[in-house]
Amino acid sequence: MFAGQAILTFFVAWLLLLPFLWFPGTEAAYASHASNWHLAESGLEPKEVKWDLDSNFNFQDLSGSRDADHAFEGLNLKIHLRIGAREKGKKTWKIDVSWDKGQLLFYPWFFDLSDLKGMVNARGSFSQKGLYVSNFHLQGPVSMEAKGLSLPMKSVQSGEMETLLKNCSINRFSMSADLGKLYDLLLKEPFSDSHPAVSRFEPAGTLTLTTLGKVLRLKCTSDLTYSGQPFVKGLLLDFPYPFLAPDCQKGRISWDELFLNNLLPPGLLDESVHVKPKDKDIPLKVCTKSLTAGPLDLDLQYGDICVNEVCLDLSKKKLALNGLCLKDLQIQKLVSGFPYEMRVSAQAMHAELKGQRLVFSGRIKAELAGGTITASNIWLEPFAPVVHYGADIVFENLDLGKLTKPTSFGVVTGVVNGYIKGLVMSGVQPERFEFLLENDDSADVPKKISLKAVENLSILGGGEGSISFLGYFLKEFSYSRIGISCSLNNDIFVLHGLVKKNGVEYLVKRGFLGGVNVINMNPGGRIRFKDMVKRLERISESDKSKMEIR
């Protein structure tokens, strides 16, 4: 009898210490060390029906580990445990636990308990059927209260949190915390190195979690800044979770003001453009295994961006965005310093998170310089330390005159087609692509190239262009064909001219009766991409390139 009571005593004590010592997914025993362990007092009154056990424990420098990612060290705990029986088969318990020192690692989270001092008070009863918590109170960085919590013994013995939550019942639960401190503790400190954007958010507000019956409701009120600038004012998140209810629940996200411009890179949008949601309320539908939010429509003043629905399916571990659209975005008016009239649109696109990559189906089309640009196979890695993204791009019937006239490159007339395949970008830096551009011979437009454009193309091709002796004194020349391809992979850049004759590669080929040639002086040559960038920088710096006169 004494052995059974002792086992139950320690079982209840360690059960109440689960937040500190329990690691999911393992049943392995912990190697632990406790110095100065002290049993202050205990009293046992073994009787046939009634008995009491009252004990005080003082653990100092308690340490243990499961592996390198799950450990605790230097933990100080004070425990007052009282357990007894007043009638046959039913036993009551009361426990008080406090801590003021120690370190807890549950990777990637690390908690210094010296800064997170607190205590737990709980009481209830237990039997062979299970454990009952009549009152539970936590004081610390998070305040928590619970009443009427029932845990079936089979669920407790399984050691699985999912099984425990599925089979438990609770009459009342409430939790409150300072949102800023909770964000720093759970998100900013463990994830800011791998996801720098996390460190740029600073929330200020409160978070509460309550339940009545079978629905757990999270409410959050906050003002949020990003990189020191206002992002959201008056944010309200109302999130009900039916953890024991079969029916889905309705929630919402709303705000007073939303400053989406401050979330974008400085200078990207024109100063006069303000991105605003058309509605200050996003409805939520929360089910046990799924979440849907939307619709959301952003007004950019010169076009809209919309998402019909965001879907999170926990059972399939799937995140999807349905009904993505771009409505007539006028890029010249939106983007600061953009020199072209360009309109972008997309309809009924779909995006799905696969691993760390958000993969889009559908196409984005742009109208530019009398032709079209179409992007497909679009993807985005939003959680990478530096945002990665990519696509395949095809351009058709672009008027070179309209493209080159607003630039300092030099004027070229004609119509071109081409593509960029396998484009991979890291921030604003290209990592990989295959590029091809060639003129459309069927287009009934003049094919002319200015002297400045010849000079700059010659720099791109390694420094050589050629014109006739008389043509050297002119400001523009005719050509018969433009054909350029290049690729970038593993920081190696390769340039080709598509017109080849007698072992010579031409970026620009003159006609039978004259004109201009621009020769690729390093056909098939491999150079580092930074060296090609230096060539491009020379295009804007050089007054005149080397040209061979023929």
Spell out the SS3 assignment of 276-305: EECCCEEEEEECCCEEEECCEEEECCCCEE
Question: For residue 291, what are the CA distances in angstroms to 24, 238, 283, 284?
Answer: 25, 13, 11, 7
Helix (H) or strand (E) holding 183: helix 179-183
Strands 476-478, 526-528: pairing kind? unpaired
The predicted structure's pLDDT at residue 297 = 93
Q: How far apart are CA 485 and CA 505, in angstroms?
A: 11
pLDDT of residue 6: 37
Kind and range of the H or E element at 63?
strand 51-67
For 397, phi then psi, to 5°, come to 55, 40
Mean pLDDT computed over 372-391: 90
Q: Does residue 138 carry a pLDDT above 90? A: yes
Indicate if the pLDDT at residue 155 is higher than 60.
yes
Mean pLDDT along residues 479-491: 90
In the prediction, which pLDDT does 315 show?
85
Structure tokens at 35: 């110095």
Question: Which pair of tokens denotes residue 105?
Answer: 């690692």
Q: Which residues share a beta bridge with 375?
A: 364, 393
Residue 253: pLDDT band (50, 70, 90) is very high
Q: What is the pLDDT of residues 278-327, one digit of tens each?
A: 888 999 999 988 999 999 999 988 999 999 999 999 888 899 999 999 99
Residue 206 — very low, low, confident or very high, per pLDDT cuts 50/70/90?
very high
Contacts 24+ apart (CB under 8 A), 183-187: 185/109, 185/111, 185/141, 186/109
Q: d(Cα 442, Cα 59) in Å, to the nearest integer?
A: 87
DSSP state of 4: H
């119509």: which residue's tokens? Answer: 415
* Interval 50-65: pLDDT, tens: 778 888 989 899 898 8
Residue 433 has phi, psi (to 5 degrees) of -170, 165
- pLDDT > 90: percent of the chain: 40
Q: For residue 312, what pLDDT is reported?
A: 93
The yes-or-no verdict on residue 259 having pLDDT over 80 is: yes
- With contact defined as beta carbons under 8 Å apart, do 92 and 86 qualify? yes
Instruction: Give the amino acid at 242.
Output: P
Task: Give the separation between CA 56 and CA 38, rounded to whole angstroms.
Answer: 8
- For the cut 70, the answer to whether the pLDDT of residue 27 exceeds it is no
What does pTM read for this prediction? Answer: 0.72
Mean pLDDT of 237-242: 92
C-alpha atoms less than 13 angstroms from C-alpha of 244 in its C-beta half-sphere: 15
Please determine, for residue 162, whether its predicted confidence score (pLDDT) is greater than 60: yes
Cα atoms in the Cβ-side hemisphere of radius 13 Å centred on 11? 16
Helix axes 529-541, 451-460, angle to 10 degrees: 160
Q: Give the per-residue pLDDT at 428.
A: 78
pLDDT exceeds 90 at position 86: no
Percent pLDDT > 70 in the chain is 82
Compute the distance between CA of residue 131 and CA of residue 164 in angstroms, rounded to an integer: 11
pLDDT at 128 over 90: no
Q: For residues 149 and 44, give the distance between their C-alpha atoms in angstroms, rounded to a whole number.
A: 28
DSSP 265: P
Q: Which are the contacts of 188, defined by CB distance < 8 A and separation ≥ 6?
A: 198, 199, 201
* Rounded-to-integer distance, Cα 5 and Cα 50, Å: 12
pLDDT beyond 80 at 376? yes
3-state secondary structure at position 527: strand
Q: What is the pLDDT of residue 337?
A: 83
Taking CA atoms, 45 is separated from 83, 278, 295, 336, 526, in Å, by 11, 71, 65, 83, 88
Looking up tokens 């006739």 gives 468
Instruction: Output DSSP code: residue 28.
Output: P
Closest by CA position to 458, among listed 519, 408, 531, 538: 519
Kindly indicate the confidence band of residue 9, based on its pLDDT and cuts at 50, 70 and 90. very low
Examine the pLDDT at 17 and tell me if it is beyond 90: no
- CA pair distance 217, 160, nearest whole angstrom: 23
**pLDDT above 80 (res 42):** no
Confidence of residue 181 (pLDDT cuts 50, 70, 90): very high
Question: What are the pLDDT digits (tens) for 429-482?
Answer: 889 999 999 999 888 888 988 888 887 888 777 754 444 444 444 577 888 899
Residue 10, both tokens: 């320690």
Q: Of 56, 64, 55, which is closest to residue 22 (Cα–Cα)? A: 64
Query: Tokens 């003159």 appear where?
Result: 510
Q: Look at 227-236, 268-277, 487-496 and tell me which has the smallest mean pLDDT.
A: 268-277
CA distances 357 to 113, 354, 379, 466, Å, are: 36, 5, 7, 47
On the 0-12 / 13-18 / 19+ scale of CB atoms within 10 A, 28 is exposed
Strand bridging mode 342-354 / 357-361: antiparallel
Q: What is the DSSP string of 430-478?
A: EEEEEEEEEE-TTS-S--EEEHHHHHHHHHHTTS-EEE-TTGGGSSEEE
Q: Which residue has the higher pLDDT, 416 or 428?
A: 416
Strands 281-286 and 257-258, sheet pairing:
unpaired
Mean pLDDT of 227-249: 89
Residues comprising the chain, all counted: 550
Kindly report, residue by residue over 432-447, the tens digit of the pLDDT.
999 999 999 888 888 9
